[in-house]
């Protein structure tokens, strides 16, 4: 059974919020069939701890303001190298670029369908679309 549409819609709100906070390499995977305990895993990268924390705060704020959602659990906020926001039906991993590279979570979910995230850069150019690999996504949204 694929991810619920409500989970996908919430992840799109979260991805747009992360993108507005200048996050990089934003990817989401439908993991419902593979895991059964959640529908979607979203990965987001920040350049440094301050940006990772800022992205997490913006994502939380937008999900609450737009959908009335609050995370069931928050982990990693103190050191801000890898913040996990667990909304039960979807989980958001906001990672420092070094942690993202080291743990390479995309490798774990490579067989799961990638979710199309209709994102734009600050100039309103499309950044990511369905089927874009992590390395291509990085090229489409260069680091500053």
Q: What is the CA radius of gyration of the chain?
A: 14
pTM of this prediction? 0.82
Q: What is the pLDDT along the chain (144 residues), one digit of tens a residue?
A: 889 899 999 999 999 999 999 999 999 999 999 988 999 999 999 999 999 999 999 999 999 999 999 999 999 999 999 999 999 999 999 999 999 999 999 999 999 999 999 987 654 444 444 343 333 333 333 333
Q: Please choose, from the candidates 76, 68, 50, 52, the residue with its C-alpha nearest in 3D space to the C-alpha of residue 13.
A: 68
Residue 95: predicted pLDDT: 98
- Whether the Cβ atoms of residue 87 and residue 46 lie closer than 8 Å to each other: no
**Residue recorded with tokens 């059974």:** 1
Residue 128, domain extent: 5-140
Q: Residue 17's CB: how many other CB atoms inside 10 A?
A: 23
CATH code at 58? Answer: 3.30.460.10
How many domains does one find in the chain? 1
Residue 121: predicted pLDDT: 65
């Amino acid at each position: 059974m694929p991810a619920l549409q409500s989970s996908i819609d919430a992840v799109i709100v979260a991805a747009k919020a992360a993108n507005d906070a200048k996050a990089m390499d934003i990817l989401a995977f439908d993991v419902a069939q593979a895991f059964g305990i959640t529908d979607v895993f979203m990965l987001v990268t920040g350049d440094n701890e301050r940006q990772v924390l800022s992205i997490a705060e913006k994502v939380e704020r937008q999900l609450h303001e737009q959908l009335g959602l609050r995370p069931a659990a928050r982990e990693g906020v103190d050191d801000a190298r890898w913040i996990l926001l667990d909304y039960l039906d979807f989980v958001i991993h906001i990672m420092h670029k070094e942690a993202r590279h080291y743990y390479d979570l995309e490798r774990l979910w490579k067989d799961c369908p990638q979710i199309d995230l209709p994102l734009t850069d600050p100039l309103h150019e499309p950044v990511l679309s369905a089927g874009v690999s992590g390395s291509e996504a990085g090229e489409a949204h260069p680091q500053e």
